[in-house]
Chain A
Amino acid sequence: MSETARGDTAAWNWAVGLALLIVPLFALSLAVGPADIPLAEIVSGLFATDNSAAAVIAQELRLPRAILAVLVGASLGLSGAALQGLLRNPLAEPGLIGTSAAAALGAVLALQTGLAQAFPLALPLSGVLGALISVVMLHLLAGRDSSILTLVLAGVAIGSLAGALTALVLNFAASPFAVFEIVFWLLGSLADRSFDQVYLAAPLMLAGWVLLLSTRRALDALSLGEDTARSLGVGLGAAKARLVLGTALTVGPAVAVAGTIGFVGLVVPHLLRPVTSGEPGRLLGASALGGAALLLAADIATRTISVSGREPKLGVVTALVGAPFFLFLILRTRRAMR
């Protein structure tokens, strides 16, 4: 069996394995919550047509939350892998390069100007717009220079600006609760989400997935260098456009409904890179599945680790896992560069 064929089989095995991991995590997510309801009752509640407590909790609270964890997690993992391929930089992910913060700014503006109330789809679309602007700005700032330092600095600049503007908008908001909202936007949460958010975010995210997955071949070619890729006949301009737009379409709605959740797009591609034998194209699908699994697990953790009845924010859990990982990556990169 040729090396690529073996690589393909291995990647497929991992993909199936990850998909199988998502199923029990999904079930666990449905079973866990502030109300102590046995899993059997939740399952029967899922299919019930009355308004019993188990039915309402299962159908309106736990199910949309689990679905959003899968959708948002897959989007974050997928966009992380795509950005790392596009920028040819292992430290790229929507949180670190400021895309999530920019998407949050877009969403907050849509909410505070009343646009999202008049036209609900404006919420995820504003997230997309914010994400799009940030990726374009990043390209202008870091551009062809793929040094890690430039990229991280540009990302910090964009993220800080977006974060500061978000805080400014919320500071002058009409509602007095806006100040507390900053916590939601900065740390992310899937608590108390409903199917409204699923319907708003899912179509755009799925469109983004299709766009990103269509760039598999281009990403593989791009990893060999731009000139080599062009000589292989890969339409680089079109592929880059699809990558940029696809990233915005996946990250924008995810942030608009769940706030900024960092590090998923960083950790998942790194963990799965050895599995896909370094081919960025294969990494896309695997990262989507891995991201979904990771976010489901993190969301379950927020509900099991509760201090005095309050859940920690989702972004806190992912940061507690992701930030040490990020530090370890930096150290390893420095050591490799010596």
Chain B
Amino acid sequence: MTKRTDAGRRLRAAALAALLPFLQLADACAAPPAFPRVMSIDLCADQLVLALADREQIASVSFLAEDGELSARSDRAAGVPVNRGTLEEILMLRPDILFVGPYWPRDLAATAARHGIRIFRTREAADIDAIKSLWMEGANALGRTARAALLLDKMEDELARLPRPPAGAPPLAAILQANGYTDGPGSLPDLALRLAGFQNLAARDGLGANAHLSLERLIMARPDLLVIASYRLDQPAEAQAALRHPALARAFLPGRRIIMPVRYWTCPGPWIAEAAGRLAGRIGQGPAGTLP
């Protein structure tokens, strides 16, 4: 072989190497698929994806989606591959679109975008309009707007069917979580209470979105309904000790207590109507406890 043929071969190889990035770009500029392959790494995004997308469309959801205590649609997660939200998993799966939570670091999002993965970032939504617009945007990204419209219409129907609250001042309700925290205005639990026709004690007393509510103040306030947010209540934890205190059993007889699994209001979605329905069912049952 002469030197000239070697040089020629090297030149051809260099030319091909120089063209390669342009070929990849051409591929990426092709029109996105109608039903993009989706991967979700955030619990709330999981539920949106599981509710709207077909099984074949879903590459993977986060491991939290399977948790029946947290996920409102955990039954739909059966059999779906799960991920732990690591960048490695994302790059290995190479979905068309990646659903992330509101706080996923921007630099990670940039890295994923560099590999040609579209990012859909969900956000907090604490009122009906915000929930609707979030779900329609998500549905748009998935190509499932018709399905989303159907679900949201069903939600509106359920909300319209909620019993009208009695005339006069709305009944008072208080939410108690582990570690003695309560949910205030601007949160999904507060939204569920308001939709059901209750006034949230945290809102009345100006307690803020996530504040501590001592048992004494709770008992003094004498709410008509005590809502105990339940997450793994059966498991031993000092954090839940306050929720099982004998003082609560005495101050709130069973008619004035309700246990709400947190999956009803951890994430924004049409199930907020179910949550409101469960709470609304308690209005008008009369004060069974004997707090004067």
Of the 9-residue stretches B25-33, B117-125, B217-225, B263-271, which lies at the interface with chain A? B217-225
CA distance in complex: A114, B236 (Å): 7
> Does B238 sit at the interface, judged by CB under 8 A?
yes
A178 B250 Cβ-Cβ under 8 A? no
CA distance in complex: A112, B290 (Å): 36
Give the residues in chain A near B231, CB-CB below 8 Å: 176
A51 B212 Cβ-Cβ under 8 A? no
> Does B165 sit at the interface, judged by CB under 8 A?
no
> Does A12 sit at the interface, judged by CB under 8 A?
no
> Whole-angstrom distance from the CB of B186 to the nearest CB of chain A?
18
A53 B246 Cβ-Cβ under 8 A? no
Taken residue by residue from 153 to 190, chain A's Cβ proximity to chain B (1 for < 8 Å, 0 otherwise) reads as 00000000000000000000111111011001100000
CA distance in complex: A196, B247 (Å): 11
| B237 interface neighbour in A52, A53, A178, Cβ under 8 Å | A178
B247 A56 Cβ-Cβ under 8 A? yes
B214 A35 Cβ-Cβ under 8 A? yes
Nearest A-chain residue to B177, judged by Cβ:
A177
Nearest A-chain residue to B232, judged by Cβ:
A175
> Given contacts A50-B290, A177-B178, are A61 and B216 in contact (CB under 8 A)?
yes
Taken residue by residue from 64 to 97, chain A's Cβ proximity to chain B (1 for < 8 Å, 0 otherwise) reads as 0000000000000000000000000000000000
B291 A53 Cβ-Cβ under 8 A? yes
> Whole-angstrom distance from the CB of A86 to the nearest CB of chain B?
32
B214 A34 Cβ-Cβ under 8 A? yes
| B250 interface neighbour in A33, A51, A184, A309, Cβ under 8 Å | A51
> Whole-angstrom distance from the CB of A192 to the nearest CB of chain B?
5
| A111 interface neighbour in B236, B242, B246, B292, Cβ under 8 Å | B236
Nearest A-chain residue to B251, judged by Cβ:
A56
B220 A192 Cβ-Cβ under 8 A? no
- Interface size of B by CB at 8 A reads 31
Give the residues in chain A near B290, CB-CB below 8 Å: 50-51
Give the residues in chain A near B246, CB-CB below 8 Å: 60, 194-196
> Does B12 sit at the interface, judged by CB under 8 A?
no
Give the residues in chain B near A114, CB-CB below 8 Å: 236
> Does A310 sit at the interface, judged by CB under 8 A?
yes
Give the residues in chain A near B245, CB-CB below 8 Å: 60-61, 192, 194
A180 B179 Cβ-Cβ under 8 A? yes
> Does A304 sit at the interface, judged by CB under 8 A?
no
B212 A181 Cβ-Cβ under 8 A? no
Taken residue by residue from 60 to 79, chain B's Cβ proximity to chain A (1 for < 8 Å, 0 otherwise) reads as 00000000000000000000
Give the residues in chain B near A53, CB-CB below 8 Å: 219-220, 222, 251, 291
> Given contacts A35-B216, A57-B219, A61-B216, are A181 and B238 in contact (CB under 8 A)?
yes
Max count, chain A CB within 10 A of own CB: residue among B216, B239, B245, B291: B216
> Whole-angstrom distance from the CB of B176 to the nearest CB of chain A?
11
CA distance in complex: A235, B212 (Å): 55
CA distance in complex: A191, B245 (Å): 11
Q: Which of B255-292 contact A (CB under 8 A)?
A: 289-292
Taken residue by residue from 140 to 181, chain B's Cβ proximity to chain A (1 for < 8 Å, 0 otherwise) reads as 000000000000000000000000000000000000001110
B216 A52 Cβ-Cβ under 8 A? no
CA distance in complex: A33, B237 (Å): 24
Nearest B-chain residue to A115, judged by Cβ:
B236
A57 B211 Cβ-Cβ under 8 A? no
> Whole-angstrom distance from the CB of B222 to the nearest CB of chain A?
6
B217 A34 Cβ-Cβ under 8 A? yes
A56 B219 Cβ-Cβ under 8 A? yes
> Does A117 sit at the interface, judged by CB under 8 A?
yes
A51 B289 Cβ-Cβ under 8 A? yes
Apart from A34-B216, A174-B235, A178-B237, 20 more pairs, CB < 8 Å = A33-B216, A34-B214, A51-B250, A51-B251, A52-B292, A56-B219, A57-B216, A57-B219, A57-B247, A114-B236, A175-B235, A175-B237, A177-B178, A177-B237, A177-B240, A185-B238, A192-B242, A194-B246, A194-B247, A309-B212
Give chain A's interface residues, CB within 8 Å of chain B.
33-35, 37, 50-53, 56-57, 60-61, 111-112, 114, 116-117, 173-178, 180-181, 184-185, 192, 194-196, 309-310
The contact sample of 14 A-B pairs, CB cut-off 8 A, is A33-B214, A35-B217, A50-B292, A51-B251, A53-B220, A56-B247, A61-B245, A174-B232, A175-B239, A175-B240, A177-B179, A177-B240, A192-B180, A309-B212
